[in-house]
Structure 1
Amino acid sequence: MAPERPARHAELYSLQNGSDVRGVALEGVEGEDVRLNPARAAAIGAAFARWLQKRAPTANDAETRVALGRDSRLSGESLASAAAAGARSAGAMPTDVGLATTPAMFMSTITEGYEFDGGVMLTASHLPFNRNGMKFFTSRGGLGSADIAEVLDIAAQLVDDDELPQESEHSLAPHEDFLPAYAASLRKRIIDGVGAGERPLEGMAIVVDAGNGAGGFFAGSVLEPLGADVSASQFLEPDGTFPNHIPNPEDAEAMESCAAAVLRAGADLGVVFDTDVDRSGLVLPDGQQVNRNRLIAALSAAVLRDSPGATIVTDSVTSAGLADFIKARGGVHCRYKRGYKNVINKGVELNEAGVDCPLMIETSGHGAMRENYYLDDGAYLAVCLIIEAARAKRAGGEGLASLLDGLKEPAEAKEARLKIMLDDFGPYGDDIIARFIEFCNGSAAPSSWTSEEVNNEGWRVRVDEGDGKQGWALLRKSLHDPLLVCNVESDTEGGLEPILEALRGFLSQFDKLDISKL
C-alpha cells in the first residue's frame, strides 16, 4: 500500500489529471483559485529532472537535458521559466524550445541532433484560457499516471526540504528552436507519401484553422513549402485569449467556422487543430465535417486498404455504424475504453501479442499509429489524410469522401453527464453500474434490449428498432469526475426518447444521482 500523502500538499497532488498535470494558472474567473503557480511549476520541473536522473543516471547530472515547450496560453512563459529554474536546481540542463506542440515535445527526445532526455509541454489542451498544465515525455513515450504520481511525490519532498529556487531566480532556459525540425519531418512524410516530387500539394487549396493555438506553423511551415495554397487559413496567430473560437476539433463552432472558410475559398480541404495539436479534424470541399466517428472511419478505410484484416482500437462510445463500417472494410473493431492512453496502450498490447493493430483512436480525435511511435499526433493524422486527398486529386478521383462510403450514421444521438452528489462517488457509481448490468440482463429491461457481448467499460446494450434499424445505450463512469455518463444513439427519428425513458425509469431509484440532464 502506498504511504499516505501529507495533507499540506493536497493542492499539489490535486494537479494530477491522469497522465498529466492540470490546474487553474491565472486569476480572473470567479470561484477558480490559482493552483498551478510558478512555485509549483518549479517544484514539478525539479522533480521531473530528479525522476529522469533516477531512471537514467549519468556520470554528471548536468548531462540530463530537458526540453520545455509551450502552447499559446498566457501563463505559459512564466510557468516554463519556473519549470526551467526547477530543473536547473536539480542539476539538469533545461532548454527552452518556445512555441511547440505536444507531439513535437516527444519527437524532441528521439530526433537526431536533439535527443533530449526528457520533454515537458506546458498546455491544457482545449480548456479555458485560465488553465494550464504539464505533459511529460521520454524517448519511451509519455509518462503514465503512476509516473506522474511519483513525480509529484518527489516534488512534495523537495518543497519540504526547501531545495527549490526562489521566484526571483526563475528565468527562461537558453533557447533552441525545435518546431522547424518537426515540421521538416511532416513535410518529408507528405513528399514520400504522395510520390510526386518536392511540391506534391501544388494545385491544392487547404484551409488551416489553428484557433490561435500552437498549430499555425502547419500552414506556413508544412503545407505552403509543398505547393499548397494556404491563403484562406485563419486564426494562425498564437493568442492565449482564444478570441475566435475554442481550439477543439470536437467543438461545433470550431468545425463550422473552418467549414465556412473552406466553402468561401472553394478549398480542397480544411484542417482544425486543438491548442497543442495532438488532435485534429478535417473538412471536405462541400463543408462536410470529418471528426469523431467520421475521422475514425476515414483513417480506418485508408489503413485497412493497406493492411487488410487489421484490428482498429477505439474508445467505448463509437457508433454502431462505425463497427459495421470497419467490418465491411475487412477489419476487426476492438471497442475498448474512454481515455486516449487506454486506447493507445491497448493497441500496443495487441501488437506485442502478435495482433496486427496499426491504428488506435478515440472519438475525441486523439489517435495514434503504430508507424509513428504510437504517438497521438493530430498533425500526423492530418498529414495521412492530406496524402490521401493529394493522391486522389492527381488521379482524378473523388477525394476523401470516398473513404467514408458506406458509413451509416445515427439519426439521433445524445450524451448526458449525470452528477453523483457524493464526495466518495466511486463506490456509488460502481453500484449503479452493477445494478444496471443486472437490469439489462433481467426481465425488467425492455424486450428490445440486448447486452453487447463485449463490454470493457460500463455496460452497453443494443436496441432493436425494427426494420433492420438499431440503437444503443452505454452507461459508464467518468474517468476522473463524479459523474456517470450516458451515451445513446438511434437509427430512427424519434427513437432516442424511448431509450432515454427506459434509462430514466431505471436511474430514478438512485437519490444521489442527478438525472435532470437525461
Structure 2
Amino acid sequence: MSFFKAYDMRGEFERDFDLDTVYRIGRWLPHVLDARRWLIGRDARLSSPAVRDALCRGLTEAGCTVDDMGLATTPMVYFFTAREGYDASVQITASHNPASHNGMKVSRAGARPVGYTSGLAEVEAKVASGALPPTAAQPGARHEVDYRDAFIEWMTDFRADLSGLRYAVDCSDGVVGLFIHNLLGDGPIYLNDVPDGTFPHHSPNPLEAASREQLAQVVRAQQLDVGVIFDGDADRVMFVDETGAFVQPDYLIPIIARTFLKREPGATVIHDVRTSRGAIEALKADGARTVMGKVGHAFAKVLLRETGAVCGGELAGHYYFRDFFCCDSGELAALLVLAALADAKRRGVSFSALMAPICRYANSGELNYRIADKDRAIEAVLAAADAWSGGAARCDIDGVRLDDADGWFSVRKSNTEPYLRLIVETRDAELLRERLDVLEAALAPFVDKNM
C-alpha cells in the first residue's frame, strides 16, 4: 500500500519510503499548505533522527523556519502547533506500528489535521512527478525548542487527587516516558518507561493482547485497581481493570465525558460508527447530545470543531478534547480516567463495577478480514443480515452501520490497511454468536487467505 494514507503518511522505512522521499515531501509541503513557520517533533524510533534531518532540509530549502522539539509525544506537537501559532507541523512517528516503520503526521495552523483528501493526495502527486519547486532565494533555518516543562505544567491542572488508587503505567517504551514521572509522581508502578525505538518489551500497539499481558500480570500479582498502557507516541491510551481484563476503549467515552458534562450540562460528545450502544446510552443518560462520525483522527477533529463538542472518543483508544485544541491526547485521557477511578474507589466501587452498566451488551470487538473485493463482500454481509435488519436504522457515513432492537453491526473498509472490518453487538452472547456466524459465513468466500 502507498506510504500516503487516509490520515497520515506511514510505512516500513527503506521499503515503502526513503529519505529522498521525505526530503521531497519537505520541499512540497510548504507550497501545498502555504505554510512558512513549522514545528517538528519525533518519536524514539531509530530512523526518526534521519527522517527529521531529511524533512528539515526540504523545509529549510523551501525557505521555512523550523522549530525542532526533538523527542516528543504526538499530542505535544498538536498542542504547541495551536498554542504557539505555527503555520503547520509534522510529528515523525509510525505511532503503534512495528519498530521498522516510520511516518509523519501533518497538521495545519490550529493543529487542524491534514489527511489524504485535505492535502496529502496533492503532496503525493507532486512527489511522484519527480519535479521540485524552486529553491527559496533565502533558505530558512532550524532551531531547537523545548516545550516539555510547559506541557507538564498545562497537564498538571487536570491531575486530581489519586491518593489511595493503586495502579501501574506501561509506557510501551514510547515517548510518554519523557515526562510521565513528572506528571504522575511516585504513585504508580512504571513499566517500560525509558523511550526505546526498538520496542524491546512488546509491540507499541496496546490493542494487541500480547502487548497488554505484562501489564495485566502486574495488576493481578500486585492486586492493583487499574493498569494504564500508552501506545508508542501517546496519542492513544488503554486500560485493564483490577482483574487484568481489557476495557474496550469506547466504553470509557462516558467516563471521560462526565468531567465535562458536570461543568457544561447537555454538551455534545462525539463518537465513531464503531461505538457500543451501551456507551451511547450512558452518554445520553448523563445528558449528553451524541453525534456519530467517521473513523479516524482526521475526521474526528473536524467533527469536534463543527459540533462544538466538549470531547469525544473512538474504539481505537483516541480521545479528543475541546480544551486540547480539538485534538487527541492519551496523556489527558489517562488523567481523567484515573481521577474517575480514584473517586469511585473512595465510594467503594471497583473499575469493573463502574463499567458494568456500560458493558451490558455482548460485543464482538473489531474483527479484521483480508479481502480484496471489499464492495462485494459488504453487499454479501448486508444481504445476509436481511433476516433481522428489515426495520433497522441505517448509517452510511463510514461503511454501513445497522441498528435494530436487538443489536447492531458495522462493516466498513479500513482506511489504513488491506482489511474489511466488522463489529457486531447484541443483547446477549447467544444472539451475538448466531449473528456473527451468519455474517462470517457471508464473508468466507471473499477472504483471501494468501494476502
Taking structure 2 as the reference length, the TM-score comes to 0.86
> Could you tell me how far apart the structure 1 residues matched to 2:107 and 2:401 are?
35
Structure 1 residues 274, 489: closer, same or farther in 2, change over 3 A? same
Q: Is the 8 A contact 1:69 1:98 kept in 2?
A: yes
> Could you tell me how far apart the structure 1 residues matched to 2:344 and 2:441 are?
51
Is residue 252 of structure 1 aligned with residue 221 of structure 2? no
Matched residue count: 444
Q: Is the 8 A contact 1:312 1:360 kept in 2?
A: yes
| Amino acid corresponding to residue 294 of structure 1 in structure 2 | Y
Q: Is the 8 A contact 1:208 1:218 kept in 2?
A: no
User: Which residue number corresponds to residue 383 of structure 1?
Assistant: 335
Q: Is the 8 A contact 1:449 1:461 kept in 2?
A: no
Shift in Å at residue 123 of structure 1? 0.4
User: Which residue number corresponds to residue 73 of structure 2?
Assistant: 101
Give the secondary structure class of the aligned counterpart of 1:446.
helix
> Could you tell me how far apart the structure 2 residues matched to 1:392 and 1:300 are?
15
Shift in Å at residue 25 of structure 1? 0.7
The one of 101, 119, 123 equivalent to 1:151 is 123
User: Which residue number corresponds to residue 452 of structure 1?
Assistant: 393
- Larger Rg computed on CA atoms: 1
Is residue 364 of structure 1 aligned with residue 304 of structure 2? no
Q: Is the 8 A contact 1:219 1:233 kept in 2?
A: no
User: Which residue number corresponds to residue 3 of structure 1?
Assistant: none
Shift in Å at residue 275 of structure 1? 0.7
Structure 1 residues 392, 18: closer, same or farther in 2, change over 3 A? same
Is residue 487 of structure 1 aligned with residue 423 of structure 2? yes
> Could you tell me how far apart the structure 2 residues matched to 1:164 and 1:239 are?
36
Q: Is the 8 A contact 1:412 1:495 kept in 2?
A: no
Q: Determine which structure has greater relative contact order: mean sequence separation of CA pairs < 8 Å that are 6+ residues apart, divided by chain length.
A: 2
Q: Is the 8 A contact 2:251 2:278 kept in 1?
A: no
CA deviation digits over 1:277-322, x for unaligned, max 9?
Answer: 1111134445454342322232234444444433332111222322
Structure 1 residues 181, 205: closer, same or farther in 2, change over 3 A? farther
| Amino acid corresponding to residue 339 of structure 2 in structure 1 | I
Q: Is the 8 A contact 1:263 1:286 kept in 2?
A: yes
User: Which residue number corresponds to residue 105 of structure 2?
Assistant: 135
| Amino acid corresponding to residue 219 of structure 1 in structure 2 | I
Structure 1 residues 402, 120: closer, same or farther in 2, change over 3 A? same
Shift in Å at residue 396 of structure 1? 5.3
User: Which residue number corresponds to residue 6 of structure 1?
Assistant: none
Is residue 278 of structure 1 aligned with residue 248 of structure 2? no
| Amino acid corresponding to residue 303 of structure 2 in structure 1 | K
Q: Is the 8 A contact 1:66 1:118 kept in 2?
A: yes
Which structure 2 residues correspond to residues 240-319 of structure 1 after superposition, within 5 A? 240-319=197-276
Q: Is the 8 A contact 2:43 2:174 kept in 1?
A: yes
Shift in Å at residue 261 of structure 1? 2.4
> Could you tell me how far apart the structure 2 residues matched to 1:47 and 1:186 are?
34
Q: Is the 8 A contact 2:96 2:232 kept in 1?
A: yes
User: Which residue number corresponds to residue 229 of structure 1?
Assistant: 187
Q: Is the 8 A contact 1:47 1:151 kept in 2?
A: yes
Shift in Å at residue 463 of structure 1? 6.3
Deviates more, 1:271-280 or 1:448-457: 448-457
User: Which residue number corresponds to residue 58 of structure 1?
Assistant: none
Q: Is the 8 A contact 1:297 1:404 kept in 2?
A: no
Shift in Å at residue 236 of structure 1? 0.7
CA deviation digits over 1:243-289, x for unaligned, max 9?
Answer: 11122232223333223323444545432111111111134445454
Task: Provide the alpha-carbon RMSD of the alignment.
Answer: 3.2
Which structure 2 residues correspond to residues 401-480 of structure 1 after superposition, within 5 A? 403-411=354-362, 413=364, 415-421=366-372, 425=373, 429-430=374-375, 432-433=377-378, 437=382, 440=385, 445-447=386-388, 450-462=391-403, 470-480=406-416
Q: Is the 8 A contact 2:171 2:230 kept in 1?
A: yes
> Could you tell me how far apart the structure 2 residues matched to 1:107 and 1:366 are?
15
Q: Is the 8 A contact 2:344 2:354 kept in 1?
A: no
CA deviation digits over 1:478-512, x for unaligned, max 9?
Answer: 2244543222234434433421343255456xx6x
| Amino acid corresponding to residue 489 of structure 1 in structure 2 | E
Shift in Å at residue 214 of structure 1? 0.8
Gaps spanning 5+ residues in structure 1: where? 1-10, 27-33, 56-63, 166-171, 195-199, 352-356, 465-469
User: Which residue number corresponds to residue 467 of structure 1?
Assistant: none
Shift in Å at residue 79 of structure 1? 0.6
The one of 152, 168, 171 equivalent to 1:210 is 171
User: Which residue number corresponds to residue 50 of structure 2?
Assistant: 78
Is residue 187 of structure 1 aligned with residue 156 of structure 2? yes
Q: Is the 8 A contact 2:43 2:72 kept in 1?
A: yes
| Amino acid corresponding to residue 234 of structure 2 in structure 1 | V
Structure 1 residues 311, 401: closer, same or farther in 2, change over 3 A? farther
Is residue 160 of structure 1 aligned with residue 160 of structure 2? no
| Amino acid corresponding to residue 320 of structure 1 in structure 2 | R
> Could you tell me how far apart the structure 2 residues matched to 1:370 and 1:214 are?
23
Is residue 334 of structure 1 aligned with residue 304 of structure 2? no
CA deviation digits over 1:325-368, x for unaligned, max 9?
Answer: 333333343333222322332232222xxxxx322211001120
Taking structure 1 as the reference length, the TM-score comes to 0.76
User: Which residue number corresponds to residue 177 of structure 1?
Assistant: 146
Q: Is the 8 A contact 1:296 1:363 kept in 2?
A: no
> Could you tell me how far apart the structure 1 residues matched to 2:388 and 2:184 are?
54
Is residue 42 of structure 1 aligned with residue 12 of structure 2? no
Gaps spanning 5+ residues in structure 2: where? none
| Amino acid corresponding to residue 460 of structure 1 in structure 2 | R
Structure 1 residues 257, 316: closer, same or farther in 2, change over 3 A? same
Deviates more, 1:399-408 or 1:174-183: 399-408
Q: Is the 8 A contact 2:242 2:351 kept in 1?
A: no
Give the secondary structure class of the aligned counterpart of 1:338.
coil
Q: Percent identity?
A: 29
Which structure 2 residues correspond to residues 47-126 of structure 1 after superposition, within 5 A? 47-52=28-33, 54-55=34-35, 64-111=36-83, 115-126=85-96
Shift in Å at residue 179 of structure 1? 2.4
CA deviation digits over 1:372-412, x for unaligned, max 9?
Answer: 2111111111122233345556x656376665351134445
Q: Is the 8 A contact 1:43 1:164 kept in 2?
A: no
